[in-house]
Amino acid sequence: MDNVENSNYSIEMLLTKLEEEKLLDAQGKQEIMASIPSLLQKNSSPWMIQALVALAAWWAAILFLIFAFGTRLIDGKDSMVIFGLLFSLAAIFLKRFLYIPAMKSSYIFVSQLALAASVAGQILLVMGFGAEVKTYTGICLFIIGLEVAMFFAYPDVIQRFASPIIVTGACLCLFSELKLLMLIHALIPALGIAAVYLWIEESWINTQKEALALKTLSYSIVVSMLGVLCLSAIQDFEFQRLFPIQYWWISSVCLSLLLLLLEHRILHSYGIQTLSSFYFFALGSTLVLAALCHNSPGIIGAILILVLGFSRGNGTLMGIALLAFGSFLFFYYYNLQSTLLQKSLILMGTGTTLLLLRAFFLYLFVKNREEQA
């Protein structure tokens, strides 16, 4: 999932610079130089190829299920559970034990087959178990357990991306079923903390054996968090009646605190002192944002991910954040219980405030530059 970008540094220049800064010794440099040709050949597939594989696997799985139910191959909850288990285990076996490096092309076909089997198997297991248990609580708990198990057992990027999202969805259904919707205000900060931690520690993750799994989890948690925050943007009467989630300001406060901590860390990494003017600018802007959006944690969540994405130089994360930000902002103003005149004044006021903040920021930057010069 890494963006393939080229730096202006050549490999040799970078290694020499690292050696000068004593982050690399001479022996380490030689080892790296010897391994570069093989590393240049080894890359994982770009995300778009994986997206194609995922789409096709879903399509194949759905067609198979149509066939299975249409021909009564699967008929009744027992056969659903049996076939579901068979397909899931077959998928795990194919993926884990049939990898032969010399037969990469065949492995891609096998991998495709395994993914389709995995999707079909999981759908059948959930349907079979659901028919057996017949309670939403039981089904949700089963889905959570199944997806956690598949995350570890089935080493596939698409599965590992989907599992946390499905688990989050199941948790929401569980909260709704148990009439514990307030727990959503614990889920959102938890997802936010996990997202921030995983992305801040991206370099550490890349040194781990399960780097790909953890990176996939990082993206998945971000998408899960933004997905849950979508509930704050829905003001439809029927939806509110079915899912009466109140006190969104709790999530807003938690996410604002997280954003402040992230900003603090970023500012410190650039050597900016705690009581400096930039620090107060960041603190002040965040507090103003939190005050304005206290009932719209989606905006704060999107800005958190945007700052996180930019700090890691990750275009994909920034794209997700900008899309979410635009949507949440639209719904924020759409849902305002005020007249067109009031909305227009709020919009103009907010826009003008942002332009003034920008002017103040430019002034601070120039002043800081002059002081340093």
Partner 1 sequence: MTKDSAEQKVTRGLLHALAKKHISKECLERSLVLSGFLPDKNAWYTFIHVFFLLLGITLVLTGISFFFAYNWSSLHKFAKLGIVQLGILACLGGVLYKGLDSLVGKALLFAASVLVGTFLAVFGQIYQTGADAYELFVGWFFFIIGWTAISNNTGLCFLSLLILNLAIVLGMVQTGRVDRPWEWCFLFEILCAIQFLPLLVWESFSSRLEWMRVRWFPRILVFALLYFLVFPVMIYIFSRTPEDRQYLSVQIAPLLYGSFTAFLFYFYQYKKQDLSILTMNCIALIIVVSCSFGKFLVDSIHDVIFLSILVIVQASLASIWLRKVWKKWTM
**Which is nearer to partner 1, 52 or 180 (by Cβ)?**
52
For residue 259, is it left (φ>0), alpha (ψ between -120 and 50) or beta?
alpha
Asked if 79 is part of the footprint of partner 1 (rule: CB under 8 A), the reply reads no
Task: Quote the least distance from Cβ 3 to partner 1, whole Å.
Answer: 6
- Choosing from 52, 103, 180, 234, the residue that interacts with partner 1 (CB under 8 A) is 52
Query: Interface with partner 1 includes 244 (CB under 8 A)?
Result: no
- Please give the torsion angle defined by the CA atoms of residues 220, 222, 225 and 228, in that order, rounded to the nearest 10 degrees: -60
> Which of these, 250, 224, 235, lies nearest to 172 by C-alpha position?
224
Minimum CB distance to partner 1, residue 144 (Å): 29
The Cα–Cα gap between 102 and 359 comes to 60
CB of 243 to partner 1, least distance (A): 29
Give the side-chain half-sphere CA count within 13 A for 72.
Answer: 0
Whichever of 188 and 320 has its CB closer to partner 1, that residue is 320
Q: What residues numbered 109-138 form the site for partner 1, per CB under 8 A? A: 109, 112-113, 116
Q: Collapse the DSSP code of 230 into the 3-class scheme (helix H, G, I; strand E, B; otherwise coil) and give the result.
A: helix
Q: What minimum distance in Å lies between the beta carbon of 354 and partner 1?
A: 4
Q: Binding string, 180-219, against partner 1, x = CB under 8 A?
A: -----------------------xx-xx-x-x--------
101 scored as a contact of partner 1 (CB under 8 A): no
Alpha-carbon distance of 372 to 352, in angstroms, equals 30
List the interface residues with partner 1, window 282-341 (CB under 8 A): 310-313, 333, 339-341
**Binding pattern to partner 1, positions 256-285, x when CB under 8 A?**
--------------x---------------
Contact pick of 180, 354, 363, 367 for partner 1 (by CB under 8 A) = 354
Closest approach, Cβ 349 to partner 1, in A, equals 8
HSE-CB at 196 with a 13 A cutoff on CA atoms is: 24
Which range touches partner 1 (CB under 8 A), out of 11-19, 160-168, 180-188, 247-255? 11-19
User: One-letter amino acid identity for 277?
Assistant: S
Out of 26, 42, 97, 242, the residue judged to bind partner 1 by CB under 8 A? 42
Binders of partner 1 in range 136-175 (CB under 8 A): none
Q: Which is nearer to partner 1, 61 or 191 (CB)?
A: 61
**What is the nearest approach in angstroms of partner 1 to the Cβ of residue 319?**
10
Torsion, CA 176, CA 296, CA 235, CA 170, rounded to 10: -20
Indicate whether 6 belongs to the interface with partner 1 (CB under 8 A).
Answer: yes
Binding-site member from 135, 246, 351, 367 for partner 1 (CB under 8 A):
351
End-to-end CA distance of the chain: 41
- The CB-of-365 to partner 1 minimum distance in angstroms stands at 5
Q: Identify the CA nearest to 69 among candidates 84, 88, 85.
A: 84
The DSSP annotation for 334-353 comes to HT--S-HHHHHHHHHHHHHH
Q: Is 31 a residue that touches partner 1 (CB under 8 A)?
A: yes
Tokens representing 176 are: 């709704």
- With respect to partner 1, which residue has the nearer C-beta, 246 or 352? 352
* Shortest Å distance, C-beta 184 to partner 1: 28
CA dihedral 26, 32, 33, 37 (to 10 degrees): 170
Q: What is the Cα–Cα distance from 144 to 164, expressed in whole angstroms?
A: 9
Report the distance separating Cα 123 and Cα 294, nearest Å: 39
Instruction: Mark the segment that binds partner 1 (CB under 8 A) among 93-101, 102-110, 173-181, 237-245.
Output: 102-110
C-alpha 45/C-alpha 66 separation (Å) is 31
